[in-house]
Amino acid sequence: MISIKEKVAYGLGDTASNFIFQTVMLFLTYYYTDIVGLNPATVGSMFLLVRLIDAVTDPLMGSLADRTRTRWGSYRPYLLWLALPFAIISVLAFTTPDTDYQGKLVYAVTSYIALMLMYTAINIPYCALGGVMTADPEQRVAIQSYRFIFAMIGGLIVTSFTLPLVDAFGDGDDAKGYQLTMLLMGVVGMVLFLLCFAGTEERLKPEKPLSMPLSEQLKSVLRNDQCRVLCLVSVVLLTGILLRNSLAIYYVKYVLNRPEDVTLFVTIGMVGGLIGCAFAHPLAKKLGKIRLYVLLQIGSAIACVVNYFIPINMWIFALVIHFVWGFLLQMSSPLLWAKMADVADYGEAQSGVRLTGVTYSTVVFFIKVGVALGSAMSGWLLAFYGYEAGTVSEHVNSGIAFSFCILPALMSVLVVIIMRWYTLDTQQVEAAQQQIQAARLSATH
């Protein structure tokens, strides 16, 4: 049994991560288009192209973490080593140079690449750490539930305080405001990563040093049919989430014509997500991870469709629906990450080699592809509708509303269809773990 103290310590790592992840999801598109002044189509393409780098760096980082051997374990040390560099890069990514358009674009691309590289370097080991703290399938859901409660707390801090802090620190200069806001978040995030390092323990140790080449590791992971299903689910789901989150500020500011209520709207969605994460563990015990996950996606799709047909003058109803969407969708997040640990066990039972870091990094790569696609689509769609910063038109508003509501609903429906091929229930996971233990016992005799 993992103590509550250790679960909280693990969760603090995702509070730190979400200072960046949620800021990128909610504000980076707006920051680049309306603060830096970049073309939205260019921003969209940049988000997608930078993700191509992750195709190389994610598995490399996963393999490096799997091979790491220290007195602290394989994955925890990176939280100690990279906490400060992560904070520094976070500030640089939200710094606007005083130069021409081309210079700003080059700086944006360079700093965004650096931010994503650093995020990969610290987040891949952090994610894999959750898979080696325990072998108990129920405790894995509990650990991920705590993780995402604290992730949502981090997101809640971002949604509640980012824009007010930008106003306070910037005093009319939003570029300066974003820079100083990220400085504060970076320092706090660094402290939280260090607390996560100090308060967790790796219990599932590899039986022998990993000598398999990276190419063979990747082939082994991709031969895992359940891992392939989870990768596809991840890219589709995150595309929908990022599309909706990236457009939230535009939806409230222009479609609902309530620019003063952007912070309230995104915060309400985050509060819903926070409460939803707390329900993931007890409901998964009652309904099962797979069934609950499918039901949550169906509910999320319905919420989005209802959102589309809300008259724009029904502000309270829009808030309620956004809360419900956050509640349902984020309840599914701990289930997705708990399934990654199950998939790693299933893969070891198949191949005889434990590849926790590479398995997590493979799924995380597809999560990042979804993040990139959702962010890119938001920029491309804004450009397609003819959006220009600060302007309002009925055609643009209709396009934003459709993209904010209907497209994420379609993504959730597609996830439901893909989940038909995911079969790793509790019984199958326990059978895989028994097979692993039997193989290890046989190897020692």
Nearest Cα to Cα of residue 410 among 335, 325, 298: 298
pLDDT digits (tens, 9 = 90+) for 396-437: 999 999 999 999 999 999 999 999 999 998 889 888 888 888
Of the pLDDT bands very low, low, confident and very high (cuts 50, 70, 90), residue 160 is confident
**What distances in angstroms separate CA 217 from CA 12, 351, 437, one per listed residue?**
30, 10, 21
pLDDT at 253: 93
Q: Are 63 and 357 in contact (CB under 8 A)?
A: yes
The structural domains of the chain, ordered by start, are 4-200+214-444 (1.20.1250.20)
**CA–CA distance, 152 with 277 (Å, rounded to integer):** 8
pTM of the model: 0.78
Query: Strand pairing partners for 73?
Result: 70
pLDDT digits (tens, 9 = 90+) for 9-55: 999 999 999 888 788 777 888 899 889 999 988 988 888 887 778 77
Q: Measured in whole angstroms, how far is the alpha carbon of residue 402 from the centre of its chain? A: 23
